[in-house]
Amino acid sequence: MPTEPKPEKRPSELEKNVLGKAAKGGELVKKTKTTDLVEDICYKAAGQDVSDLHNMTIEDEFAGKVFPRAEYRGQVRNLRNGNPNWVNIEHPEQSNGLTNAQRAELMDVYGENALTPPDEKSELQKFVEQFTGFFSLLLIVGGLLCMIAYGADTEGTENLFLGLVLFIVVTITAIFTYQQESASADMMKKFQKIGATKQAVTIEGQTKTIEVTEIVPGDVFRLNNEVRPPCDARILKASNDFAVIEASLTGEPDAIKKGPKTSEKPDERALNQKNIVVAGTEITAGEAWCMAIATGDQTVMGRNFALMLDTKALKDDTPIRKEIDRFVEIISAIAIALGVVFLIVNIMVVGVSVEAIVFTIGIIVANVPEGLLATVTVSLALTAARMKDVMVLVKNLEAVETLGSTSVICSDKTGTLTQGRMTAVRAVVNGELLSTYPMATASWGAKPPSGADKTPFYELQKCATFCGSAEFKGPEDRPSIGGAPSVPWERLEWDDRAMIKGDPSEKAILVFNEQRLAQFENFGVNGFSKDSEDASAKTNSILPVSFEGMKNCLLAKEGWEEGRQWDAKNIAMNSSRVAAARREYPCIDRLPFDSKNKWMAVTTDLRKLNGEDDYVTWIKGGSDVVYDFCTHTYADGKVVELSAKNRRDFAENNVLLASQGLRVFAFAKVVVDTLKGKSVAKADAPAYFGESMLKPDNWAPGEMNEEGKVMEAGTPKPITVAGKPQIPLVRPDIAARRMKETGDSEHYFVPKVVFLGLLAMQDPPRPAVPRAVQICRQASIGVVMVTGDQPTTAAAIARDIGIITAAGKTEDDVVMEKLKSEPGKSLADFKTDRERVLNSLKTEEKDSISAMAVEGSRISKWNPKAMDSNWTKALGYCWKEGLVFARTSPTQKLLIVQHFRIKESEGGPEKIVAVTGDGANDAQAVTAADIGICMGIAGVEVTREAADMVLMNDNFASIVDGVLEGRLIFDNLKKSIAYTLSSNIPEISPFIVFILLRVPLPLTTVLILCVDLGTDMVPAISLAYETKEKDIMKRAPRTKTDNLVTERLISFSYFQIGVIQALAGFFSFFSVMYSEGYAPEDLPGSGELAGYFTPGGPPFGGFSVQENLKSQSMAQTAFFCSIVIVQWADILICKTRRLSLFDQGMKNDQLNFGLFFETALACFLIYVPGVSVIFGMQKLRFVYWLPAIPFSILIFTYDETRKWIIRHHDDVLDFFRWQKEKGLMRNEYNEQLYWEGYAQEGAGKDWPTDEDWTEEEKKAHQQKTESLSKAAKRIEKAARWLDRFSYW
């Protein structure tokens, strides 16, 4: 339990008033570190999970903030209900607000209203850290050894030159990496500035606009849906429609109504308090006057931020960093071991000498792939640049490769997989189910379906137009975000334009109407034709609006100079037809939507239309609720009574839409043709719909409704009472009852309520997402949806985008299929019969369930720390037909990530997990994942800080681009390593032969360095530019055993290609020596170790000492050239790991230049006067270049053949690896079982065990196997052989 914080001073009267007037003494705790604050918060919450801050009570949240724990409960109650003397609770807009002196005192206590960033390192420290990587240190040590060698032997400058080159390589790569990371950090700072930076606050009785960071607890300000709450605040006064979406903190997508009243339950969790708004949430409608109660680190968002930083500090290194460190360890061990061995041998042969030490240093340096560090840096930098082109900001360059290793992607739904906005996607009219999105291909697109009765379609559009309150915001260009270009407002689609009123569904209906009303002649505008105003022009629109009305609805664009106006075409095209229609066909009465009744109604004056109805009441609401009091519908353009078939069709369509996770609204109209029980002339209508409608009857104190419930006094009555029709008679059942009870046919009549149809809303998938998910499936990457939405909604979207495949069946799918097969049952019975059918499923029916939609409430019952049968079963669906987690809390999302990462040794899947998130509730899971991905537009600061990369366009498809780039990085690094290591054998083998056979030294350390730091450097780096192989996204993610350096890569580079290169070098060396007069059989025992071929030694072979040295130098130069020539073939075969060069092509211009460069550099070193002397080379005759060419051709031919075998014998190799992975040992009777088991596992079935086979079956298989035994053994041997030489 945390200790009591040391008191600093007693609270002032001001500080007491901020939280209420009940503070009587106590010690004031100043702003502390957030980790201590979290301990204080949780002091009273015994056993509470610290990772789930949102489950804290309001009292827990503000405990220990200003007052000691012993008093905090009373203070928090006053926080919610107190009446500070600077606030007018009844009329907060008239409040005096804090004084400047009070604000300064509070600022001193609480600090700025900003999240304290993690400790920033100085730029110098960041730069110096680039030199501390394991690989950088290895090169620095190599440089120091060269300097030591130069100090020991100052006659030659080659070691000095080498040391300087190594230092330069490390420095350049450090500068390059530092610049890349600095650019990413600068971009992140730009993202953090997105959003409002100023807020109007009441100070000393005046409204002043201040920086958001200057807000202090106690400040009074007004909030609306144009800004997000800048801090945690108490609501003092709010409009009736004030609502907040808290998805960024809770994951809940629905708007929650808030107001000044406190919760009836004082211990209810903070976010459930009706009078509290929290920083970072989104206001969807209304406005409210608020008082700040928590700022900066003390907000709910601030505590999430603190926990995220603590978790991030414990995060492990990236996989690529581990791989590079592992590679360096291996290479260092090899280099040091070889160096020590050669040093010992040298000492044993010639004794201790400076030459022996220099020789050893040369061996060590020769084994270090100096170009790899530059290759890694260039690869990561190139990828970062490419990722920026696809709108992905890489904060940590190494994270891209991690994404390429990812085997599971846990993705949010809203805004990532979907477009982040509700859209009308389905409609039901005349009993027919229609698509409405996208409009270009929908069955109800720009116009109703051809041949259909258009009346109900047009009436539904009118109803949807008038039954709504959503409005577009004034014209504002979309700003540039994250490098994306800004877009002029007039070029934005309707659904891309900002709105100032309405919840997401209201906005969807508004866009639905705007798109279709614009399809009529002249854009649905009277007084406009072609591109100009034309008073005589008429439109055929169902709701024609005037050009003048459109003009009045279109404001000037923000930033325009005074007097500038829109031209006529822009007015007709871009002004809101819905807004103009609502003005020209006014609402004369309205019954607002009520969350309990779940419907709304408006009465509009349609006399300007000159139609059959002068006044019409329109109804919109929940499909079940509205349809229940509908009496009629349209058929062939006429109003007819609803039939049993109509009702059955409605029930089936309604269940079908709901099962797809759609939000369904019903639309109806009240036909007023029986007013007062008789036909009414149009002339009588105005008297009936008179001004009294604007003054509706209200419920009196204690008055009860039809259900006997006492209603709130002063609120409007929902139907006609006492002869004053408000929303007239939309409930036929109540109207008929009242008419019967009162006998008053003068004021009561039973109306016809005509059902018009259904509109179904959905946040539709992003267009590129289905293809991206398909690519992930091909790449064996499991995509899991983790959302706070309903399971039906989540499963429907998952099916649309391919997370649940077309063949996938969830529990609900199986239940629906069985319901349809039962006599007398239909989809209409789904809700009532679901549990019954589910419990009655047979074993084979349960086995047909191949996809899973798991609700969060089920996860809470599973083991939170280890794998159990529930987790094993659920996670297994990820690689079957699909897996969705719905209604998940932040803690549950974290558990999902952690269980995917549990090690295989502990029974888990041990996957590399990528997680997307945008809200503060996602920060913990994003931090815990191997790679965290945040949304750039919707993401909050906490999650952006936690993430390794940011999707600047919030698009899931960009993640797939990142996976490709990550795999490409790993591929190219392996290619570069394979290329670099191949030359180590021809570089080291001359020393081995030199010592063992005592021949003249075939290759000097200087020439080795000419290869490593000269001819090989550019080709090795050029592999970073190599484009992807065609099958890169058809491979499974690399496993934990698929390292940068594997046994197969060592086999390939050292024992296959390296050996051939060494043979080429020796062949060239001995060929030149033979051509110069030295027979190969005479050379063993005649080298430097025997005293020959040294400046002070005896002559050899009948030639002078100088001639000996010149011939040897000539042969050494030929050996150097042979390495260059065989590296031509090596660079070509390393372009691909699996595909043929003829498939990949020669499109890498940098690599083509590398081929030219290494050849040109070799020629420069050999033939330029003076240069050859420095490096101990001789000018070669052309014929001396030729011996190595056959070996180069051999390397290319050998590797193409090897790759062909790999591509055409995958089944043999895969079987062998599967057998090895399973730990199987072949015997006489079960070889055939293994083959059949492998085939079953590939089909997604469980592998059979011995218990699954009867004795008869075993005998039958044994007979089969005996005839195949010899062949099987040969196959196994071939597979083992091929595995050593296969895909590296």
Residues acting as catalytic residues: 412
CB 729 within 8 A of CB 749: yes
From residue 132, how far is each of 174, 312, 332, 365 by CA, in Å? 10, 21, 16, 19
DSSP letter for each residue of 236-257: EEE-TT-EEE-HHHH---SEEE
- Tell me the residue type at 733: D
- Tell me the residue type at 579: A
- State the sign of the Cα–Cα–Cα–Cα dihedral 217, 223, 227, 228: positive
CB 931 within 8 A of CB 402: yes
- Residue 585 has what DSSP assignment? S
Instruction: Locate 241 and state its tokens.
Output: 């429609």
* R_g of the chain computed on alpha carbons: 39
How far is Cα 1126 from Cα 1133, in angstroms, rounded to an integer? 11
CB 1211 within 8 A of CB 1288: no
Beta strand 545-546 pairing with 587-591: unpaired
> Could you tell me which residues are beta bridge partners of residue 210?
199
User: Which region, left, alpha or beta, applies to residue 998 given φ > 0 means left and ψ of -120 to 50 means alpha?
Assistant: left
In the structure, how many helices (H) and strands (E) does the chain have? 47, 32
- Residue 66 has what DSSP assignment? S
How far is Cα 900 from Cα 913, in angstroms, rounded to an integer? 7
Question: Is 120 exposed, middle or buried, given 0-12, 13-18 or 19+ CB atoms closer than 10 A?
Answer: exposed
CB 926 within 8 A of CB 947: yes
The upper half-sphere exposure of residue 572, i.e. CA atoms within 13 Å in the direction of its Cβ, equals 25
Instruction: Locate 231 and state its tokens.
Output: 């801090």
- Tell me the residue type at 541: S
Q: What are the backbone dihedrals phi and psi of residue 1287, each rounded to the nearest 5 degrees, phi first?
A: -50, 115
Residue in the structure block whose two tokens are 């595995």:
1283
How far is Cα 932 from Cα 396, in angstroms, rounded to an integer? 11
Helices (H), 1003-1140: 1005-1010, 1017-1022, 1047-1050, 1058-1075, 1105-1133
Non-local CB neighbours of 538 within 8 Å, separated by 6+ positions: 521, 522, 526, 544
Residue in the structure block whose two tokens are 């904060």:
395
Beta strand 949-951 pairing with 931-935: parallel
Non-local CB neighbours of 604 within 8 Å, separated by 6+ positions: 466, 585, 586, 587, 588, 615, 616, 618
Residue in the structure block whose two tokens are 């990142």:
962
Cis peptide bond upstream of 728, omega within 30: no
DSSP letter for each residue of 1193-1253: HHHHHHHHHHHHHHHH-HHHHHHHHHHHHHT----TTTHHHHHHHHHHHHTTPPPP-GGGS
> Could you tell me which residues are beta bridge partners of residue 433?
428
3-state secondary structure of 333: helix
Q: What are the backbone dihedrals phi and psi of residue 487, each rounded to the nearest 5 degrees, phi first?
A: -125, 125
Residues shown for the chain: 1288
CB 923 within 8 A of CB 942: yes
